[in-house]
């Protein structure tokens, strides 16, 4: 079975009412979480969280607005690279960094893994790579966080083997087998929040886990279908698709066979 390790890589703060209607104006902590997935000698990193590169990219110019809208707390020792090193894993040991989507709080540390390959959806990259200026800011994308040789190092999930998922993962029926994972990791489309947004079903010794990234921000979003604020929908890639994904997470949670992990869970 796959081994899954969770890391908190900095956090931002924001009013909870933005991500959950009727939750009040209280400002809450939203951790940027990343996961290490291991199957035998293979190691994949799911997102990177924040990194010093984020501070450098938002120190001046247009992207200052990013950190003002969502104030970030991050120290260098919290970087994914440093946290892995503390448990005896150097950045060169990471075979691939899997990118759930291209929002800055998920990709800020890509440059810290110069010898790793990248995995993402083709749709995510094709719809994001040309964004600049205000258009990029509106999509929470900071172009300078992307390594110069990204396109030489990236693999798209659409090229992986497509398969029928186990019944335990219903209502999700189809996904992509992560190569070399011995069918213990399936990548799935979770559209709506961002272009080409993906998640991963991981079979662990404790059972199936879904890394749902930002398909929801709080458990209440999908367990009780308490949706985000109307303003939050303005910055989404596809509001209708987001609601459909939220409904699928609701059904999945009712089945009780899969534990759902959200990237910013723990904010309440």
pLDDT (average), residues 3-22 = 91
- Binned at pLDDT 50, 70 and 90, residue 267 comes out as very low
Between 158 and 229, the more confident residue is 158
Question: What pLDDT band is residue 41 in, cutting at 50, 70 and 90?
Answer: very high
| pLDDT of 125 strictly over 90 | yes
Q: 90 in a domain, yes or no?
A: yes
Tens digit of pLDDT for each residue in 101-116? Answer: 999 999 999 999 999 9
Q: Across all residues in the chain, what is the average pLDDT?
A: 95
Residue 120 domain-assigned (yes or no):
yes
- Statement: residue 222 has pLDDT above 80: yes
**Cβ–Cβ < 8 Å for 118, 154:** yes
Residue 17 lies in a domain: yes
Domain coverage including residue 241: 3-262
DSSP 8-state assignment for residue 83: H
In the prediction, which pLDDT does 268 show?
Answer: 35
Q: Over 60: is that where the pLDDT of 121 sits? A: yes
**Count of domains observed in the chain:** 1
> How high is the pLDDT of residue 245?
98
Is 268 inside a domain boundary?
no
Where residue 89 sits, what CATH number does that domain have?
A: 3.60.15.10
pTM as predicted: 0.96
Cα–Cα separations (whole angstroms), residue 7 to 46, 83, 109, 152: 10, 8, 13, 28
pLDDT of 266 reads 63
Domain annotation covers residue 222: yes
Judge residue 143's burial from the number of C-beta atoms within 10 Å of its C-beta, 0-12 exposed, 13-18 middle, 19 or more buried: middle
Asked whether residue 115 is domain-assigned, the answer is yes
pLDDT given for residue 135 in this prediction: 95
Name residue 163's beta-bridge partners.
175
Instruction: Answer yes or no: is 26 within a domain.
Output: yes
Long-range contacts of 25-31 (CB under 8 A, 24+ apart): 28/267, 28/268, 29/266, 29/267, 30/70, 30/217, 30/264, 30/267, 31/264, 31/265, 31/266, 31/267
Asked whether residue 267 is assigned to any structural domain, the reply reads: no
> Please, is 51 exposed, middle or buried when counting C-beta atoms within 10 Å of its C-beta (0-12, 13-18, 19+)?
buried
The whole-number pLDDT of residue 116 equals 98
């Amino acid at each position: 079975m796959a081994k899954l390790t969770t890391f908190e890589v900095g956090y931002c703060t924001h009013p909870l009412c933005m991500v959950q209607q009727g939750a009040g104006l209280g400002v809450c902590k939203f951790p940027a979480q990343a996961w290490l997935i291991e199957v035998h000698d293979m190691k994949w990193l799911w997102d990177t969280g924040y990194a010093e590169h984020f501070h450098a990219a938002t120190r001046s110019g247009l992207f200052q607005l990013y950190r003002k809208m969502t104030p970030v707390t991050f120290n260098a020792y919290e970087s994914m690279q440093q946290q892995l090193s503390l448990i005896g894993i150097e950045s060169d040991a990471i075979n691939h960094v899997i990118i759930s989507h291209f929002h800055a709080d998920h990709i800020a540390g890509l440059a810290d893994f110069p010898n790793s390959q990248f995995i993402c959806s083709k749709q995510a990259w094709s719809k994001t790579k040309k964004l600049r200026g205000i258009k990029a800011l509106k999509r929470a994308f900071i172009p300078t966080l992307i390594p110069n040789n990204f396109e030489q190092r990236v693999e798209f999930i659409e090229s992986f083997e497509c398969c029928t998922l186990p019944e335990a993962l219903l209502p999700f029926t189809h996904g992509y087998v992560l190569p070399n994972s011995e069918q213990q990791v399936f990548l799935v489309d979770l559209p709506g929040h961002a272009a080409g947004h993906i998640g991963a079903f991981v079979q662990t010794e404790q059972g199936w886990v879904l890394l749902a990234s930002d398909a929801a921000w709080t458990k209440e979003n999908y367990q009780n279908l308490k949706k985000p604020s109307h303003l939050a929908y303005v910055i989404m890639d596809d509001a209708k698709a987001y609601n459909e994904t939220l409904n699928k997470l609701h059904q999945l949670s009712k089945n009780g066979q899969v534990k759902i992990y959200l990237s910013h869970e723990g904010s309440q």
